[in-house]
Structure 1
Amino acid sequence: MPDGCVLAFDFGERRIGVAVGDILLGIPHPLATIDTVVTDERFAAIGKLISEWQPAQLVVGLPMHQDGVEHEMSALSRRFANRLKGRFNLPVWLVDERYTSVIAESLLEEAGLRGRKQKPALDQVAAQAILTTWFDHPGTAV
């Protein structure tokens, strides 16, 4: 796996959480939340982050039911991953994101954020959990 930066995405129909990490160090950090439903605005914001961070790879969380079966959001996340690959010509990985929201909520509670105070950071911390998973188990290339 090449060295460099990686961006991870927690895709949602309303918001997309973004995290960044260094492949060599394997330490992810929350980065941003893209809060718009307008596709062009979403990809413009992602393009800006890609331009700024120059990632070597991209990671997208793949939502699944607890038993590992995919559902509606799985198909939307796969489509998003394919669009990232097509638009930005970077390697894109899909990673099982089961329990990342629970992990994100737990991390935010440990930081003293509860309830509504979690909302602004929840998606990007979920993306951080997705990236942690990818560092441990790279998942499937798109």
Structure 2
Amino acid sequence: MTSPRPQQWFHFGPWVFSIHAAEALIAAQPRDTRPIDVPSWAAAFGLTHLDEPHRSSVSLIGPTSDGLDRVYAMSTDLAKPIIVAQPSVNGHPPAPLLIDGAHRLYRAWRKQMPQLPTWLLTPEETLLIRHNTVLGPGHAVIIPPSV
């Protein structure tokens, strides 16, 4: 018997996103995948500069050069879709945010693949899986839209 997989979280600023909850939402409400442009997303996530020996910049949303396990990344399943959430801040339109699949994105970029399959969460689903790091899991902070 295999033990249950530990819960996985993506941290971004004051929020954590529950990958386990996102996968449960997707399983409960299946959807088609959408392709993402690997070179664009790898650059935006800071993956294209991770291997530079004399880096002079740091990505604000991606992993650090020692924060991405390249050996593991090169063994990941590129057929498994990555997950993109759509958080909204202070009433601004939702923006896409990669919350699961950085290792797969890195591998796809290194292999010069043009696209990866993606599950896109709605802004409403994103609120369901987003938690406040100060308050802890189970305490989502919903910011009402500006009037």
The TM-score, its normalising length taken from structure 2, stands at 0.31
Q: Which is greater in Rg? A: 2
Higher strand fraction (1 or 2) = 1
Higher helix fraction (1 or 2) = 1
